Structure 1
């Protein structure tokens, strides 16, 4: 049994930019921290977020024991940028992640991660699952992996490399190849992490665990006992009522695949349930902060590409994730691309059954965890997140840097999609970069382009982003446009400097 004594005290603290007295946890020892990051899990995919089809009893229970965030955001609209933001507290574009890991894009060794900071405060750290921030296999680039970024023990894959059902992929453990592992991805990482909790960790130290599932990213192929649960007329009826972020669905009939997506999320829920059972059975529940979230919004089937006659990807026909009633999905800077499920549990600190509408962003993990561990936030580099623990208590969170999300498309495929979204208090400004001239290189276009067309939405009155207020509130657009361009240029310059090394 964990003997850590937990004491709650009300302390007067100064929030960034504010003077509100807030309740903060005060303890003899810092908490264990466990982050479970799903891949492409939509804001509307869980029962506790209103999904009428998918069974997610364990995630729903986690929410009933803690807080369900209704304004939680990934740090990016696709996976590698989001993962970079989570670990560094920095907008991913500063770290060179305009898009996903590959070629000259990886998490540099001079980035300071939350794992390194917690490690320096006496935490034992472990990582499990999809890394997607550098190549784990030995190659000529010799990119830093989890062990170089602060994780004492790790087992993972570069990305989603597996060939089919019950083949979790080519794992590496502490830098050494494990080979293909028999089992579904979420089951493998949960079983391995549970074994570490029981048998391998130093029980005299607090721990930081970071688990990244493959599910429900493509390729999607759950055990049949899960998909069969959704092979029913009622599923068919409810799916026809499902919203998909105003994103067009394929003209071809893909309805036969919906049961596989729903089954995959159900399977992921069971895997999380087993991990929570292990944690609780070891007496670790009371002093462990558990956070469940996703790296971006749900994946879309091939629609824009299909309508332009450019290419098809039948694997994505199995994508039936939903952002609920939000606009956009994965890649979109609209809300559905980056607003994600966010559930946090810490008994005795976070009230059970709480619903919070305070914004928590992917860049906030590092500063929030620093505060809990008694570590200073790095001061030698720009940190875009803040200590946002108040969001877990449904209290006000004040920010000195707006939250910003970006998807760097430049071709005709996504011509209907903006590139940038920036949130400041109640308002979100949506921006389009000018069309890239034919023959202009991507880097040149990035360096020289600023947003030149805008939409404005009030996120309190209109979270679905249906009513563009840009013409009605030009003064707000002008002020936010100035901030967006300044922040965009600053981040872009820092990220592009890396690509010139």
Structure 2
């Protein structure tokens, strides 16, 4: 079993999801061998929360991942991960790449790391996002199995995939089933692919096609950043090649037909900085290379709109999932753990609120029954950040979008979070309005009332559990 998680890859960034520019032949081929999920979602709208949701099956708010509320948040040892579940069923487990659930330092790791969370073998990058050594062209510092590995030359996706291939072919116990969790940094910033990749997109045709790309109705900078698009497209192309090499090793080992492989992303695509503040526009040139697209969806990374959390989802399981199919059934990042539990006949971890469900039927295009509606948060504390909402919730094809009330001057963030409930709302039918352009709340007052009631109850429950976990951790 393999889960491959890209970083900040948008719903519209792959050719098999309609991108007219980027060459992704390996992922396109992979999609043709299994199911392409049209309504696949990450468990959060930013990095760490999504990763916590994927591993635990729990909404990340429950485990304290408020993200900007407390950047020292980490995945506590008492959380039960999918790797720990699989180890209990005799699986050998491995992790590669961006952990982002605790602090990995050059000479140690702080708080529970991958080895404490169920991984027998792991190779984690010491930096969660930005490379203080100078960017993708410079050596990277890694930790392997808790010990400093030193610096390694190469690009993140190449280094981690090459190590994962070596483990798959030569290092694992071949008498055991295995679980691989491979997390690339690409196409997260800093973006700087090999010249051979960026050069493919430095031409007039790309210039013309880029003008047709949609960016979720998120404002782009007034300054000219167009020269950087070749680097973003080249990075996605490079990621596709790395994934293709991993799949080739799986095939060479004779494991292709017996291995479920899931490819997805941790959230929607990053946007260049365009935030207007009282002192004027501030810039972050490292993000000027962000040309990822949510396709027809609204919003990007951080946004609770669909573009912030609806992501590519490709799943292959030969002989079980029909080839060359598509599914428009919602699958959420929280569903990964309970779905895997069902596949290996393991119990879902007891004594905790697990929000995901066994959603394997979604891979077959069949309905999935849920106890609660799927819900996502981005807990920023005001209207300044793009004037975006903080919460979204899906019930069938309907999405309720909500804003918390503005935080008043003098009110602490903890107090505001603990006492605020969803206030202003909008309603969209994403089956006919995927760009969330037509607010239909006024036409469906009873539906809005019932959905807002459920949203408020889920928000309070998850928020209070998360705040309690923060207090216990402190």
TM-score by length of 1: 0.91
Q: Please name the residue that 1:301 is paired with.
A: 272
CA distance in 1, matches of 2:244, 2:53: 26
Deviation at 1:106, TM superposition (A): 0.4
Instruction: Note the aligned Cα RMSD (angstroms).
Output: 1.6
CA distance in 2, matches of 1:114, 1:238: 41
From 88, 98, 104, the equivalent of 1:120 is: 88
Deviations 1:74-114 (A, max 9, x none): 00000000000000000000000011696530000000000
Q: Please name the residue that 1:357 is paired with.
A: 328
From 176, 188, 194, the equivalent of 2:165 is: 194
Does the CA-based 8 Å contact 2:68-2:379 persist in structure 1? Answer: no
CA distance in 2, matches of 1:168, 1:82: 27
Deviation at 1:311, TM superposition (A): 2.1
Q: What are the ranges of 5 or more consecutive residues in structure 1 without an aligned counterpart?
A: 1-32
Does the CA-based 8 Å contact 1:136-1:175 persist in structure 2? Answer: no
Report SS of the residue matched to 1:413: coil
CA distance in 2, matches of 1:307, 1:387: 47
Does the CA-based 8 Å contact 2:275-2:282 persist in structure 1? Answer: no
TM-score by length of 2: 0.96
Q: Please name the residue that 1:59 is paired with.
A: 27
Deviation at 1:141, TM superposition (A): 9.2
Q: Please name the residue that 1:209 is paired with.
A: 180
Deviation at 1:309, TM superposition (A): 1.7
CA distance in 1, matches of 2:350, 2:108: 33
From 287, 304, 318, the equivalent of 2:289 is: 318
Q: Please name the residue that 2:147 is paired with.
A: 176
Deviation at 1:303, TM superposition (A): 1.2
Does residue 375 of the first structure (1) align with residue 346 of the second (2)?
yes
From 128, 148, 156, the equivalent of 1:159 is: 128
What pairs up with 1:221-240 in 2 under 5 angstroms?
221-240=192-211
Does residue 36 of the first structure (1) align with residue 4 of the second (2)?
yes
Deviation at 1:142, TM superposition (A): 3.8
CA distance in 2, matches of 1:127, 1:365: 16
What pairs up with 1:7-26 in 2 under 5 angstroms?
none
CA distance in 2, matches of 1:65, 1:392: 13
What pairs up with 1:333-482 in 2 under 5 angstroms?
333-414=304-385, 416-482=387-453
Does the CA-based 8 Å contact 1:80-1:101 persist in structure 2? Answer: no
From 217, 230, 235, the equivalent of 1:246 is: 217
Deviations 1:329-381 (A, max 9, x none): 00000000000000000111110100100110000000000011110112211
Deviation at 1:166, TM superposition (A): 3.0
Deviations 1:450-493 (A, max 9, x none): 11100011122222211111101010000000000000000001
CA distance in 2, matches of 1:41, 1:256: 20
